[in-house]
Structure 1
């Protein structure tokens, strides 16, 4: 096998690992998912996010074509992206809200986050998440602008995950985040670059800069909360970070792209 073929095989393998990490799409990796494989493949998370955003945009376009109002089309688009991801990130957001908000000790917070039941903090977090994202898409309305917003939000929200995983230590030795490992610097840089590129192409350089600043601020705040309250990050914390990022980018898009402007 030629070096070029080996590189292509590795890229495809990483894309499959990334897709299986953040969606329920049944894609098997063509490369062994041994120790460090998931961490190395995190560079492809923005690409997987881009595909999720495109799926949501397709559903929105079809809904508009059959005559549905933008608010109903937006709800269907959110339903599509939630189904594709298996509500993985929403589950992380709810567990994080319950754990950080409801527990008094580190051990109790981690126990709550592992509990499959949802509490009042989690319910409120999900209502806010869906409400803000739905409202943003409904305000944007124009199908092309909605596609740009969804692609930007899903790609950029996942672009910061490798950096977050690399800089914030796992809160416990087991679980999704700990098993994935710490992404190498190359994967962190590639993910950030891909996410920034999609964000700039979708929203423009100036708006992309605003989005990056908000994402960075949100990441720092969440990292500080996670370290101070539970000693680091978990898979639920990563899911919460993705959800917050998605919300922020959609709000930025709604501020500038409403009505197709």
Structure 2
């Protein structure tokens, strides 16, 4: 693996997953497909979450209110990604909550308007993550809190690649279909690097062996069940289900850590 190629993949992944500006030189000859670039998703997650993690650690160090600190961290994450993953979660909730018909669900998911199911999903996602982060404040150091947020960012982007590669495209004209499906090498690299980074960061944060194993086990279970549910209802993945997989994994990781650390 050449460093220059991985740097390009990282830049392309950051551009795809966030609103962060990326130099144009990384897109020379790029056809928009992420077949190989998806290997850098976990690393991109770390970069995207860095501002929120730094803010969270700083606020905790100055003994700010835990709920306020957690809410601001989640807000910074959403601003950084342009609420891309939250949008996917809301669309999936609207589509699958409104109908059992596959084609109707896919049509609803393409609609930019938000419905009751999507609104409720967003409320629960923000509330669960804020509550979980706030619950971690008294259990770990300020630095450890930031490292946990980075670990969750890397692991949840790893989950996106797994979900993307494990399921076939549900439709041929969506964003995910146009970006291709991560190849086997990219998927393996994303899983190994993302899992490795997550384990190291959780260890440095002082999360402990049992909380780490419980959180990983719960998140894998949630991801697998979500994938099977999506395949049974839609026949495969879409850009929205990939984003929803990130949100589901992030909620599972943070909840498990909050209950066990």
Q: TM-score, normalised by structure 1?
A: 0.90
What does the per-residue CA deviation read over 1:149-172, in whole Å, with 9 as the maximum and x for residues that have no partner?
A: 211111101112222212200110
The aligned length equals: 251
Shift, 1:254, TM fit: 1.5
Shift, 1:113, TM fit: 0.4
Bigger mean CA offset, 186-195 vs 138-147: 138-147
Q: Is the 8 A contact 1:60 1:77 kept in 2?
A: yes
**What does residue 90 of structure 1 align with?**
86
Structure 2 CA distance for aligned equivalents of residues 19 and 92 of structure 1: 17
**What does residue 148 of structure 2 align with?**
149
Change over 3 Å in CA distance of 1:256–1:203 after alignment to 2? farther
Q: Is the 8 A contact 1:149 1:202 kept in 2?
A: yes
Q: Determine which of 2, 19, 22 is the counterpart of 2:17.
A: 22
Q: TM-score, normalised by structure 2?
A: 0.90
What does the per-residue CA deviation read over 1:76-132, in whole Å, with 9 as the maximum and x for residues that have no partner?
A: 111111100000000000000010111231111011101111111111111111111
> Tell me, which stretches of 5 or more residues in structure 1 are unaligned?
none
**What does residue 198 of structure 2 align with?**
199
Structure 2 CA distance for aligned equivalents of residues 200 and 256 of structure 1: 16
**What does residue 58 of structure 1 align with?**
54
Structure 2 CA distance for aligned equivalents of residues 108 and 228 of structure 1: 15
**What does residue 222 of structure 1 align with?**
226
Q: Determine which of 233, 237, 241 is the counterpart of 1:233.
A: 237
What does the per-residue CA deviation read over 1:197-232, in whole Å, with 9 as the maximum and x for residues that have no partner?
A: 122112245433333322222222122221221211
Shift, 1:65, TM fit: 5.1
Give 3-state SS (helix, strand or coil) of 2:36's partner.
Answer: helix
Q: Is the 8 A contact 1:74 1:134 kept in 2?
A: yes
Q: Determine which of 138, 141, 155 is the counterpart of 2:134.
A: 138
Q: Is the 8 A contact 1:98 1:120 kept in 2?
A: yes
Q: Is the 8 A contact 2:90 2:117 kept in 1?
A: yes
Shift, 1:17, TM fit: 0.8
**What does residue 74 of structure 2 align with?**
78
Structure 2 CA distance for aligned equivalents of residues 203 and 252 of structure 1: 13
Q: Is the 8 A contact 1:12 1:30 kept in 2?
A: no
Q: Is the 8 A contact 1:18 1:48 kept in 2?
A: yes
Shift, 1:22, TM fit: 0.8
Bigger mean CA offset, 222-231 vs 109-118: 222-231
Structure 1 CA distance for aligned equivalents of residues 197 and 256 of structure 2: 14
**What does residue 33 of structure 1 align with?**
30
RMSD: 1.8
Q: Is the 8 A contact 2:223 2:245 kept in 1?
A: yes
Give 3-state SS (helix, strand or coil) of 2:35's partner.
Answer: helix
